[in-house]
Amino acid sequence: MEYELNKPQTYALHIENELLEVTKKKLQLARYPEEQSDVGDDDWSQGAKVKEVKRLAEYWANGYDWRAEEVDNARINQEFNQFKVRVDIPGYGPQILHYAHEISTRPDALPLLFVQGWPGSFLEARKIIEPLTNPPDSATQAFHVIVPSIPGFGPGDPPIKSGFGPFLTARGFKVLMVDVLGYKRFVTQGGDWGSMITRSMAMQYPQHVRACHHNFFPCGPPPWYKAPFTWGRLILSPYLYSNHEMGSIKNMQYYQKEQNGYLKVQSTRPQSLGFGLGDSPVGLLGWLVEKFHEWMDVAHYRMPDDEVLTFVMMHWMQGATPGLRYYKMAFREQGEASTVKSFTRYLGTPVGLSHFPSEIAMPPYDWVAWVANEQFRREHKTGGHFAAVECPELLVQDLRDWFSSKSVHGAMRGN
Protein backbone atom coordinates (compact mmCIF):
# COMPACT_ATOMS: atom_id res chain seq x y z
CA MET A 1 0.00 0.00 0.00
CA GLU A 2 1.16 3.53 -0.79
CA TYR A 3 1.09 6.03 2.06
CA GLU A 4 1.08 9.79 1.57
CA LEU A 5 3.39 11.91 3.69
CA ASN A 6 1.86 12.79 7.08
CA LYS A 7 -1.59 11.50 6.05
CA PRO A 8 -2.68 8.58 8.28
CA GLN A 9 -4.63 5.66 6.90
CA THR A 10 -6.65 3.27 9.04
CA TYR A 11 -5.06 -0.11 9.58
CA ALA A 12 -6.25 -3.52 10.77
CA LEU A 13 -3.76 -6.07 12.02
CA HIS A 14 -3.75 -9.23 9.90
CA ILE A 15 -1.43 -12.22 9.62
CA GLU A 16 -1.63 -14.35 6.50
CA ASN A 17 -2.92 -17.91 6.73
CA GLU A 18 0.29 -19.22 5.16
CA LEU A 19 2.39 -18.04 8.12
CA LEU A 20 -0.11 -19.48 10.60
CA GLU A 21 -0.05 -22.85 8.84
CA VAL A 22 3.75 -22.94 8.58
CA THR A 23 4.00 -22.00 12.25
CA LYS A 24 1.82 -24.94 13.28
CA LYS A 25 3.95 -27.35 11.23
CA LYS A 26 7.16 -26.01 12.73
CA LEU A 27 5.74 -26.35 16.24
CA GLN A 28 4.83 -29.97 15.58
CA LEU A 29 8.36 -30.75 14.32
CA ALA A 30 10.23 -29.02 17.13
CA ARG A 31 13.09 -30.63 19.05
CA TYR A 32 13.58 -29.81 22.72
CA PRO A 33 16.64 -29.85 24.97
CA GLU A 34 16.82 -32.17 27.95
CA GLU A 35 16.82 -30.83 31.49
CA GLN A 36 19.61 -32.02 33.77
CA SER A 37 18.46 -34.33 36.53
CA ASP A 38 19.65 -32.17 39.43
CA VAL A 39 17.98 -28.94 38.21
CA GLY A 40 14.69 -28.30 40.00
CA ASP A 41 11.37 -27.48 38.38
CA ASP A 42 11.51 -23.89 39.68
CA ASP A 43 15.17 -23.33 38.80
CA TRP A 44 15.39 -21.03 35.75
CA SER A 45 19.13 -20.40 36.12
CA GLN A 46 19.91 -22.23 32.85
CA GLY A 47 17.15 -20.46 30.96
CA ALA A 48 13.56 -21.22 30.05
CA LYS A 49 12.20 -24.46 31.50
CA VAL A 50 11.69 -27.19 28.92
CA LYS A 51 8.45 -28.38 30.50
CA GLU A 52 6.94 -24.87 30.36
CA VAL A 53 8.06 -24.12 26.81
CA LYS A 54 6.85 -27.49 25.57
CA ARG A 55 3.47 -27.00 27.25
CA LEU A 56 3.05 -23.57 25.64
CA ALA A 57 4.24 -24.81 22.25
CA GLU A 58 1.73 -27.65 22.29
CA TYR A 59 -1.04 -25.20 23.14
CA TRP A 60 0.18 -22.85 20.39
CA ALA A 61 -0.05 -25.69 17.87
CA ASN A 62 -3.31 -27.24 18.99
CA GLY A 63 -5.35 -24.75 21.00
CA TYR A 64 -4.31 -21.13 20.53
CA ASP A 65 -6.49 -19.21 18.09
CA TRP A 66 -4.73 -16.19 16.57
CA ARG A 67 -7.80 -15.24 14.56
CA ALA A 68 -9.76 -14.85 17.79
CA GLU A 69 -7.07 -12.48 19.07
CA GLU A 70 -7.03 -10.59 15.81
CA VAL A 71 -10.71 -9.95 15.15
CA ASP A 72 -13.17 -11.89 17.31
CA ASN A 73 -14.81 -10.93 20.58
CA ALA A 74 -13.77 -7.27 20.52
CA ARG A 75 -10.05 -8.03 20.60
CA ILE A 76 -7.05 -6.32 18.99
CA ASN A 77 -8.69 -4.73 15.96
CA GLN A 78 -11.71 -3.69 18.02
CA GLU A 79 -9.75 -2.54 21.06
CA PHE A 80 -7.30 -0.32 19.17
CA ASN A 81 -7.96 2.40 16.60
CA GLN A 82 -4.92 1.69 14.46
CA PHE A 83 -3.27 3.70 11.71
CA LYS A 84 -0.20 3.76 9.53
CA VAL A 85 1.46 6.86 8.16
CA ARG A 86 4.56 7.75 6.18
CA VAL A 87 6.77 10.33 7.84
CA ASP A 88 10.05 11.97 6.90
CA ILE A 89 12.48 11.58 9.79
CA PRO A 90 15.27 14.19 9.99
CA GLY A 91 18.62 12.48 9.51
CA TYR A 92 17.09 9.28 8.16
CA GLY A 93 14.38 9.78 5.54
CA PRO A 94 10.98 8.19 4.93
CA GLN A 95 9.61 5.59 7.34
CA ILE A 96 6.17 4.03 7.81
CA LEU A 97 4.92 4.28 11.40
CA HIS A 98 2.17 2.17 12.96
CA TYR A 99 0.28 3.57 15.92
CA ALA A 100 -2.94 3.41 17.90
CA HIS A 101 -4.78 6.62 18.76
CA GLU A 102 -7.53 6.70 21.37
CA ILE A 103 -9.21 10.07 21.84
CA SER A 104 -10.95 10.97 25.08
CA THR A 105 -14.27 12.80 25.04
CA ARG A 106 -13.00 15.04 27.81
CA PRO A 107 -12.05 18.56 26.65
CA ASP A 108 -9.33 18.80 29.34
CA ALA A 109 -7.62 15.53 28.33
CA LEU A 110 -3.82 15.56 28.04
CA PRO A 111 -2.09 13.96 25.05
CA LEU A 112 -0.09 11.01 26.41
CA LEU A 113 2.47 9.16 24.30
CA PHE A 114 2.95 5.60 25.58
CA VAL A 115 6.06 3.80 24.29
CA GLN A 116 6.86 0.16 24.99
CA GLY A 117 10.06 -1.83 24.78
CA TRP A 118 11.38 -5.29 23.93
CA PRO A 119 10.08 -7.97 24.01
CA GLY A 120 6.82 -6.08 24.25
CA SER A 121 4.73 -4.32 21.63
CA PHE A 122 1.93 -1.79 21.38
CA LEU A 123 -0.28 -4.44 23.02
CA GLU A 124 1.28 -3.58 26.38
CA ALA A 125 -1.18 -0.67 26.48
CA ARG A 126 -4.36 -2.70 26.03
CA LYS A 127 -5.28 -2.77 29.74
CA ILE A 128 -4.67 0.93 30.41
CA ILE A 129 -6.18 2.75 27.43
CA GLU A 130 -9.80 2.57 28.57
CA PRO A 131 -9.27 3.85 32.15
CA LEU A 132 -6.95 6.59 30.90
CA THR A 133 -9.27 7.87 28.17
CA ASN A 134 -12.49 7.40 30.15
CA PRO A 135 -11.85 8.02 33.85
CA PRO A 136 -14.63 7.40 36.38
CA ASP A 137 -15.41 11.05 37.13
CA SER A 138 -14.66 14.60 36.02
CA ALA A 139 -12.19 15.15 38.86
CA THR A 140 -9.85 12.46 37.50
CA GLN A 141 -7.31 13.38 34.83
CA ALA A 142 -8.18 12.11 31.34
CA PHE A 143 -5.84 11.46 28.41
CA HIS A 144 -5.75 11.13 24.67
CA VAL A 145 -3.54 8.04 24.37
CA ILE A 146 -1.14 7.53 21.46
CA VAL A 147 0.67 4.18 21.29
CA PRO A 148 3.15 3.87 18.42
CA SER A 149 4.94 0.66 17.54
CA ILE A 150 8.71 0.86 17.51
CA PRO A 151 9.53 0.15 13.84
CA GLY A 152 10.07 -3.60 13.51
CA PHE A 153 7.98 -4.45 16.58
CA GLY A 154 4.57 -6.04 15.95
CA PRO A 155 2.90 -4.40 12.94
CA GLY A 156 5.49 -1.62 12.81
CA ASP A 157 7.23 -1.66 9.42
CA PRO A 158 10.94 -2.46 9.97
CA PRO A 159 13.53 0.10 8.86
CA ILE A 160 15.08 -0.81 5.53
CA LYS A 161 18.36 0.99 6.30
CA SER A 162 20.73 0.56 9.24
CA GLY A 163 21.22 3.11 11.99
CA PHE A 164 17.62 3.31 13.14
CA GLY A 165 17.81 3.21 16.93
CA PRO A 166 16.11 5.08 19.79
CA PHE A 167 17.47 8.50 18.75
CA LEU A 168 15.84 8.34 15.33
CA THR A 169 12.76 6.67 16.79
CA ALA A 170 12.41 9.70 19.07
CA ARG A 171 12.56 11.96 16.03
CA GLY A 172 9.99 9.89 14.21
CA PHE A 173 7.60 9.91 17.15
CA LYS A 174 7.99 13.69 17.45
CA VAL A 175 6.94 14.02 13.80
CA LEU A 176 3.98 11.74 14.53
CA MET A 177 2.84 13.69 17.58
CA VAL A 178 3.43 17.24 16.32
CA ASP A 179 3.28 17.21 12.52
CA VAL A 180 0.79 14.38 11.94
CA LEU A 181 -1.51 14.53 14.97
CA GLY A 182 -1.08 18.20 15.82
CA TYR A 183 -0.20 17.82 19.51
CA LYS A 184 2.18 20.71 20.07
CA ARG A 185 2.60 19.90 23.76
CA PHE A 186 2.24 16.47 25.31
CA VAL A 187 3.42 14.14 28.07
CA THR A 188 5.07 10.72 27.81
CA GLN A 189 5.23 7.36 29.55
CA GLY A 190 8.05 4.93 28.82
CA GLY A 191 9.38 1.60 30.03
CA ASP A 192 12.37 -0.35 28.70
CA TRP A 193 13.30 1.13 25.28
CA GLY A 194 10.29 3.42 25.67
CA SER A 195 12.02 5.09 28.60
CA MET A 196 15.07 5.84 26.47
CA ILE A 197 13.03 6.94 23.47
CA THR A 198 10.83 9.33 25.43
CA ARG A 199 13.84 10.71 27.33
CA SER A 200 15.57 11.35 24.00
CA MET A 201 12.42 13.09 22.77
CA ALA A 202 12.44 15.37 25.82
CA MET A 203 16.11 16.18 25.27
CA GLN A 204 15.68 16.92 21.58
CA TYR A 205 12.26 18.61 21.80
CA PRO A 206 11.68 20.09 25.26
CA GLN A 207 9.27 22.62 23.75
CA HIS A 208 6.94 19.71 22.90
CA VAL A 209 7.59 17.10 25.60
CA ARG A 210 6.45 18.89 28.73
CA ALA A 211 6.68 16.08 31.32
CA CYS A 212 7.80 12.44 31.40
CA HIS A 213 6.92 9.37 33.39
CA HIS A 214 9.11 6.26 33.59
CA ASN A 215 8.83 2.87 35.21
CA PHE A 216 12.38 2.00 34.07
CA PHE A 217 15.33 4.31 34.58
CA PRO A 218 18.78 2.78 33.88
CA CYS A 219 21.20 5.32 35.32
CA GLY A 220 24.30 4.65 37.42
CA PRO A 221 25.72 6.64 40.33
CA PRO A 222 27.40 9.99 39.62
CA PRO A 223 31.22 10.23 39.69
CA TRP A 224 32.49 9.86 43.25
CA TYR A 225 34.43 13.11 43.13
CA LYS A 226 31.26 15.03 42.24
CA ALA A 227 29.01 13.33 44.75
CA PRO A 228 30.95 12.05 47.77
CA PHE A 229 27.82 11.93 49.94
CA THR A 230 25.99 9.82 47.36
CA TRP A 231 28.91 7.38 47.32
CA GLY A 232 29.12 7.39 51.09
CA ARG A 233 25.46 6.49 51.18
CA LEU A 234 26.07 3.72 48.65
CA ILE A 235 28.97 2.30 50.68
CA LEU A 236 26.77 2.32 53.77
CA SER A 237 23.69 1.20 51.84
CA PRO A 238 22.78 -1.67 54.20
CA TYR A 239 22.27 0.96 56.88
CA LEU A 240 21.11 4.03 54.90
CA TYR A 241 19.08 2.73 51.96
CA SER A 242 15.34 2.05 52.14
CA ASN A 243 14.05 -1.45 51.46
CA HIS A 244 13.06 -0.37 47.94
CA GLU A 245 16.51 1.03 47.25
CA MET A 246 18.22 -2.10 48.53
CA GLY A 247 15.93 -4.18 46.37
CA SER A 248 16.86 -2.06 43.36
CA ILE A 249 20.57 -2.57 43.93
CA LYS A 250 20.09 -6.33 44.25
CA ASN A 251 17.98 -6.41 41.06
CA MET A 252 20.60 -4.48 39.10
CA GLN A 253 23.44 -6.66 40.41
CA TYR A 254 21.54 -9.84 39.58
CA TYR A 255 20.76 -8.52 36.09
CA GLN A 256 24.43 -7.77 35.43
CA LYS A 257 25.54 -11.17 36.69
CA GLU A 258 22.85 -13.51 35.40
CA GLN A 259 20.41 -11.86 33.00
CA ASN A 260 22.13 -9.73 30.39
CA GLY A 261 23.50 -12.38 28.05
CA TYR A 262 20.73 -11.57 25.56
CA LEU A 263 21.91 -7.94 25.59
CA LYS A 264 25.44 -8.90 24.55
CA VAL A 265 24.24 -11.01 21.65
CA GLN A 266 21.48 -8.72 20.41
CA SER A 267 23.71 -5.65 20.54
CA THR A 268 26.56 -7.32 18.62
CA ARG A 269 25.31 -10.07 16.25
CA PRO A 270 21.50 -9.85 16.13
CA GLN A 271 21.21 -11.18 12.60
CA SER A 272 23.02 -14.42 13.46
CA LEU A 273 20.56 -14.94 16.31
CA GLY A 274 17.71 -14.07 13.97
CA PHE A 275 18.32 -17.14 11.80
CA GLY A 276 17.28 -19.27 14.74
CA LEU A 277 14.62 -17.16 16.44
CA GLY A 278 13.10 -15.98 13.18
CA ASP A 279 12.75 -19.51 11.83
CA SER A 280 11.84 -21.50 14.95
CA PRO A 281 8.68 -20.54 16.83
CA VAL A 282 9.81 -22.72 19.73
CA GLY A 283 13.18 -20.96 19.76
CA LEU A 284 11.53 -17.55 19.92
CA LEU A 285 9.04 -18.78 22.51
CA GLY A 286 11.82 -20.01 24.79
CA TRP A 287 13.81 -16.80 24.34
CA LEU A 288 10.86 -14.59 25.31
CA VAL A 289 9.22 -16.76 27.98
CA GLU A 290 12.40 -16.62 30.02
CA LYS A 291 12.26 -12.79 29.93
CA PHE A 292 8.63 -12.73 30.99
CA HIS A 293 9.39 -15.05 33.89
CA GLU A 294 12.56 -13.30 35.04
CA TRP A 295 11.39 -9.71 34.68
CA MET A 296 7.85 -10.02 36.01
CA ASP A 297 6.72 -10.24 39.60
CA VAL A 298 5.56 -13.81 39.04
CA ALA A 299 4.55 -14.17 42.69
CA HIS A 300 1.70 -11.76 41.98
CA TYR A 301 1.07 -12.05 38.24
CA ARG A 302 1.46 -14.86 35.73
CA MET A 303 0.63 -14.20 32.12
CA PRO A 304 -2.25 -16.31 30.81
CA ASP A 305 -1.20 -18.61 27.99
CA ASP A 306 -3.07 -16.61 25.34
CA GLU A 307 -1.39 -13.40 26.49
CA VAL A 308 2.07 -15.01 26.31
CA LEU A 309 1.51 -16.32 22.80
CA THR A 310 -0.03 -13.10 21.51
CA PHE A 311 3.03 -11.19 22.75
CA VAL A 312 5.28 -13.75 21.04
CA MET A 313 3.26 -13.41 17.83
CA MET A 314 4.10 -9.71 17.74
CA HIS A 315 7.74 -10.64 17.10
CA TRP A 316 7.14 -13.89 15.22
CA MET A 317 5.14 -12.03 12.56
CA GLN A 318 8.28 -10.01 11.73
CA GLY A 319 10.66 -12.97 11.86
CA ALA A 320 12.07 -11.70 15.20
CA THR A 321 15.18 -10.10 13.68
CA PRO A 322 14.00 -6.45 13.53
CA GLY A 323 13.39 -6.41 17.29
CA LEU A 324 16.77 -8.03 17.95
CA ARG A 325 18.53 -5.65 15.58
CA TYR A 326 17.19 -2.62 17.45
CA TYR A 327 19.77 -3.32 20.17
CA LYS A 328 22.61 -3.19 17.67
CA MET A 329 21.36 0.12 16.32
CA ALA A 330 20.98 1.56 19.83
CA PHE A 331 24.51 0.72 20.87
CA ARG A 332 25.89 2.13 17.61
CA GLU A 333 24.62 5.62 18.44
CA GLN A 334 27.42 8.05 19.24
CA GLY A 335 27.85 11.44 20.93
CA GLU A 336 24.71 13.47 21.57
CA ALA A 337 22.73 10.88 19.62
CA SER A 338 23.66 8.11 22.06
CA THR A 339 20.39 7.31 23.79
CA VAL A 340 22.05 4.69 25.97
CA LYS A 341 24.45 7.34 27.31
CA SER A 342 21.71 9.94 27.70
CA PHE A 343 21.19 8.75 31.27
CA THR A 344 24.51 10.36 32.15
CA ARG A 345 23.25 13.83 31.11
CA TYR A 346 20.86 16.03 33.06
CA LEU A 347 17.36 16.67 31.72
CA GLY A 348 15.33 19.51 33.19
CA THR A 349 11.92 18.32 31.96
CA PRO A 350 9.76 17.36 34.97
CA VAL A 351 10.00 13.61 35.60
CA GLY A 352 7.81 11.20 37.54
CA LEU A 353 8.89 7.66 38.44
CA SER A 354 6.99 4.55 39.48
CA HIS A 355 9.08 1.96 41.28
CA PHE A 356 7.91 -1.64 41.01
CA PRO A 357 9.92 -4.08 43.15
CA SER A 358 10.78 -6.58 40.39
CA GLU A 359 11.91 -3.90 37.92
CA ILE A 360 15.49 -4.46 36.75
CA ALA A 361 16.47 -0.77 36.59
CA MET A 362 15.13 1.78 39.07
CA PRO A 363 18.05 3.37 40.94
CA PRO A 364 18.14 5.16 44.32
CA TYR A 365 16.71 8.66 44.36
CA ASP A 366 20.08 10.39 44.80
CA TRP A 367 21.42 8.73 41.63
CA VAL A 368 18.41 9.97 39.67
CA ALA A 369 18.80 13.51 41.04
CA TRP A 370 22.03 13.93 39.05
CA VAL A 371 20.38 13.28 35.69
CA ALA A 372 16.70 14.12 36.06
CA ASN A 373 14.34 16.74 37.46
CA GLU A 374 12.46 14.12 39.47
CA GLN A 375 9.35 15.56 41.06
CA PHE A 376 7.24 12.45 41.65
CA ARG A 377 8.10 8.94 42.82
CA ARG A 378 5.81 6.23 44.05
CA GLU A 379 7.02 2.90 45.42
CA HIS A 380 4.83 -0.16 45.04
CA LYS A 381 4.76 -3.49 46.82
CA THR A 382 4.08 -5.58 43.71
CA GLY A 383 4.89 -5.40 40.00
CA GLY A 384 7.83 -5.72 37.67
CA HIS A 385 9.20 -4.72 34.28
CA PHE A 386 5.87 -4.94 32.42
CA ALA A 387 3.85 -2.70 34.74
CA ALA A 388 1.07 -1.93 32.23
CA VAL A 389 0.50 -5.68 31.86
CA GLU A 390 1.11 -6.88 35.43
CA CYS A 391 -0.49 -4.14 37.51
CA PRO A 392 -2.28 -1.72 35.16
CA GLU A 393 -4.41 -0.19 37.89
CA LEU A 394 -1.31 0.94 39.81
CA LEU A 395 0.34 2.45 36.74
CA VAL A 396 -2.88 4.20 35.72
CA GLN A 397 -3.24 5.78 39.16
CA ASP A 398 0.37 6.98 39.10
CA LEU A 399 -0.10 8.53 35.66
CA ARG A 400 -3.27 10.28 36.79
CA ASP A 401 -1.67 11.60 39.96
CA TRP A 402 1.59 12.76 38.40
CA PHE A 403 0.19 14.32 35.25
CA SER A 404 -2.61 16.09 37.13
CA SER A 405 -0.07 17.82 39.39
CA LYS A 406 0.41 21.59 39.40
CA SER A 407 3.95 21.08 38.14
CA VAL A 408 2.82 19.28 35.00
CA HIS A 409 -0.12 21.56 34.29
CA GLY A 410 2.21 24.54 34.68
CA ALA A 411 4.64 22.95 32.22
CA MET A 412 1.83 22.31 29.75
CA ARG A 413 0.89 25.99 29.93
CA GLY A 414 4.52 26.93 29.41
CA ASN A 415 5.20 28.16 32.95
How many CA atoms within 13 Å lie on the side-chain side of 273?
22
pLDDT in tens, 106-152: 999 999 999 999 999 999 999 999 999 999 999 999 999 999 999 99
Percent of the chain with pLDDT over 70: 99
Residues linked to residue 86 through DSSP beta bridges, in sequence order: 5, 96
Question: Poorest-confidence range of 22-36, 198-212, 239-253, 272-286?
Answer: 239-253
Q: Which residues pair with 100 in a beta bridge?
A: 82, 147
**Residues with Cβ within 8 Å of residue 164, at least 6 apart in sequence:** 92, 95, 151, 326, 329
Q: Over the chain, what is the mean pLDDT?
A: 95
The pLDDT > 90 percentage for the chain reads 91
Task: List, for residues 336-378, the tens digit of each pLDDT value.
Answer: 888 888 888 899 999 999 999 999 988 999 999 999 999 999 9
- The region that residue 335 occupies, defined by phi over 0 for left and psi between -120 and 50 for alpha, beta otherwise, is left
Q: Of 140-144, 231-235, 259-263, which one has max mean pLDDT?
A: 140-144
Could you read off the pLDDT of 4-18 as tens digits, one per residue? 999 999 999 999 999
Select the more confidently predicted residue: 176 or 71.
Answer: 176
Task: Report yes or no: 94 and 15 within 8 Å, Cβ to Cβ.
Answer: no
- pLDDT value of residue 339: 83
Quote the CA–CA distance of 46 and 289 in Å, as a whole number.
Answer: 13
Which residues contact residue 408 at a Cβ distance below 8 angstroms, ignoring those fewer than 6 apart? Answer: 187, 210, 211, 350, 402
* Confidence at residue 74, expressed as pLDDT on a 0 to 100 scale: 47
Per-residue confidence band for 191, with pLDDT thresholds at 50, 70 and 90: very high
Is pLDDT above 70 for 407? yes
pLDDT at position 75 = 85
pLDDT of residue 240: 92
Q: Work out the average pLDDT over 329-340.
A: 88
Please say if the pLDDT value at position 72 is more than 60.
no
pLDDT value of position 144: 98
| 407 half-sphere exposure, CB direction, 13 A CA radius | 15
pLDDT number for residue 342: 83
Residue 73 is predicted with a pLDDT of 46
pLDDT in the model for residue 8: 98
Q: What is the pLDDT of residue 414?
A: 82
Determine contact, residues 300/392, Cβ cutoff 8 Å. no
Mean pLDDT over residues 91-103, rounded?
97
CA–CA separation, 321 and 324 (whole Å):
5
